[in-house]
Amino acid sequence: MTLPRDYRGQTCALSRAMEVVGERWTLLILRDAFYGVRRFGEFAAHLAVPRAVLADRLAGLVAAGVLDRRPEPGTGRREAYVLTEKGLGLWPAVRALTDWGEQHAPAPGGPRRLFLHHADGARVGPDGHCSGCGTPVPPGDLLVAPGPGLGADAEGGADPGTEADPGTDVDPVAAALARPHRLLTPLLAPLPVAPVRRPSKGTP
């Protein structure tokens, strides 16, 4: 039986928030959006989520005003998903759940991702303050960098994008996240637009 998307009989603010972000895969989609993932194919490759499910979750986030779907600069195609101001407000929740997971379900070797202050490179704590200068750091001023636990996943296998063997298929998002990257900036360059080939003069 398919569960309804709303929490019937529940009227608190948490239930209303869960109706937007509580479905399976939604928070991971939002995490990737903060990392700078913008295109449908990038989400699909990195999350390995069924494309129909991904399309449904993205459509729900757009309908809720959390993501905006807009033409990608330089391509003219409507395939870029960008966090709105409403979506940016979810960063504390995404960060808090990430920190909870690192504390209570840690990866072997330590945190998989580190959050650093772009201005000075110091660690940013769970409270959102820089350990170096003490200032609160908004998401746009954060660097996400590989942590010591990124080399192996919970099952002991190689983590995509870190030390893959030559010839191994690595999704481009994982490969890009193997290097420090500023949150909210596009993780991957826009795909080049194929030039329109015009028939030469005299071609039928």
Q: Round to whole Å and give the CA distance between 87 and 83.
A: 5
Taking residues 181-202, what's their average pLDDT?
72
- Residue whose token pair is 């870190």: 162
H or E segment at 41?
A: helix 40-47
pLDDT of residue 7: 80
pLDDT of residue 196: 52
- Report residue 179 as tokens: 């290097």
pLDDT of residue 144: 96
Please check the confidence at residue 73 and state whether its pLDDT lies above 80: no
Taking residues 130-157, what's their average pLDDT?
82
Please check the confidence at residue 159 and state whether its pLDDT lies above 50: no
Q: Round to whole Å and give the CA distance between 130 and 116.
A: 8
Please check the confidence at residue 5 and state whether its pLDDT lies above 90: no
Q: Kindly report the three-state secondary structure assignment for every residue of 95-142.
A: HHHHHHHHHHCCCCCCCCEEEEECCCCCEECCCCEECCCCCECCHHHE
CB 141: neighbour CB atoms within 10 A? 17
pLDDT digits (tens, 9 = 90+) for 105-116: 988 889 999 999
pLDDT digits (tens, 9 = 90+) for 167-186: 345 689 999 999 999 999 99
pLDDT of residue 190: 73
Range name among 65-79, 126-140, 148-162 with the lowest pLDDT average:
148-162
Report whether 173 contacts 46 (CB < 8 A): yes
